[in-house]
Amino acid sequence: MFTLSNYQLQAQDVLVPIYGDRETSAVIKLWFGSRLDMSPIDLIMRREEEVAFPSFGADLAQLKAKTPVQLVLGEAFFFDRLYLVNEHTLIPRPETEELVAGILERFSNNELKVIDVGAGSGCIAISLQLARPNWSITGVDIHRQTIDAAKANAEKLGANVDFKVLDVLEETLPEFDLLVSNPPYIPVSEAQAMDSNVVDYEPDRALFVPNEDALLFYRRLLELAKKNKKDSPVHVAFEIHENFGEQMIELCASFGFKEVNLLQDLQGKDRMIFAQYGD
């Protein structure tokens, strides 16, 4: 057994050359906090205590190989809740939290039928349902393993979400008032410039689209949303690629959507589209 500070120094020696000081600090905080069940204050106040850390060596080896810390731990935070993640799900990201926050800001507690397309870990659908218990929410994804992960998170967090396997490019959607999606939107040509801890460990199918049709999923989702319209307006809320804001505005307009709002994330990058079809 070593002191907590000794484990921290060992980890820093290995990880700083790979991740840099700032990211290493964030990784260690998340890693140690999870494995040792310690708060950030504990990690400071108990630095000179000897602690049992049986997974330290195996964890460090994975982190050295650039496995994302969330996949090493099998969990990730989203909207202040802990989600189970694995190789079949994207790791939830802060930009997607901003999408959820934007939805909650724009839509009141009135009853809504909501569908989350490309549900992944279920973080969007579950966060919305827990914040708006009277919304009826369905999450769909093409892969059974991904849906199984989302269902496990819903059960763990006590969320009433109906998760289903569905191929949105081939099948229609159940009726909805609001369609939410963070679909694949990164052209495959950008993979070379991306960090290996994303490209090598997160599912390609949830990240990449063909270079020649980068808006493939949005086009299909807008088509389905337009067809879905009944007697009341239909809304869409998308996370998007930072370089495709103007193209997304034009695409929404081409399907007859109005009140198209392009919003930036906290980094000032075009990241979200909100739009409405019908009056």
- Residue 131 scores a pLDDT above 60: yes
Q: What is the mean pLDDT of residues 55-61?
A: 97
pLDDT of residue 185: 85
> 256: phi > 0 → left, psi -120 to 50 → alpha, else beta; which?
left
Instruction: Round the average pLDDT of the chain to a whole number and report it.
Output: 92
Residue 203 has pLDDT above 80, yes or no: no
Q: Name residue, tokens 């600090």.
A: 25
Name the pTM for this structure: 0.92
pLDDT in the model for residue 210: 77
Examine the pLDDT at 90 and tell me if it is beyond 60: yes
Question: Could you give the CA distance from residue 255 to residue 71 in angstroms, rounded to a whole number?
Answer: 39
- Taking the C-alpha atoms of 66, 83, 132 and 138 in order, what is their torsion angle to the nearest 10 degrees? 90
* Residue 24 vs residue 211, higher pLDDT: 24
Whole-number CA gyration radius for the chain: 20
Say if residue 229's pLDDT is above 80: no
The predicted pLDDT at position 278 comes to 87
pLDDT of 201 > 60? The answer is no
Q: What percent of the chain has pLDDT over 90?
A: 82
Residue 48 has pLDDT above 60, yes or no: yes
Give me 43's structure tokens.
């990690």
Work out the average pLDDT over 28-53.
95
Which of 96-105, 139-148, 224-233 has the weakest average pLDDT? 224-233
Average pLDDT over residues 31-50: 95
The residues, any chain, with a CB within 8 Å of residue 205's CB and separated by 6 or more, are 142, 143, 184
Residue 199 binned pLDDT confidence (cut-offs 50, 70, 90): low
Amino acid, res. 118: G
pLDDT band, very low/low/confident/very high, at 213 (cuts 50, 70, 90) = confident
Strands 136-141 and 162-165: parallel
Q: In terms of C-beta distances under 8 Å and separation of at least 24 residues, what long-range contacts does 145-148 make, across chains too?
A: 145/86, 145/88, 146/88, 146/89, 146/119, 146/120, 146/121, 146/203, 146/206, 147/119, 148/88
**193 falls in which pLDDT band (50, 70, 90)?**
low
The pLDDT value recorded for residue 206 is 63
pLDDT at residue number 202: 57
* Integer Cα distance of 114 and 179 in angstroms: 6
Please report the pLDDT score of residue 205 as a whole number.
Answer: 64
pLDDT band (50, 70, 90) for residue 37? very high
pLDDT score recorded for residue 237: 98
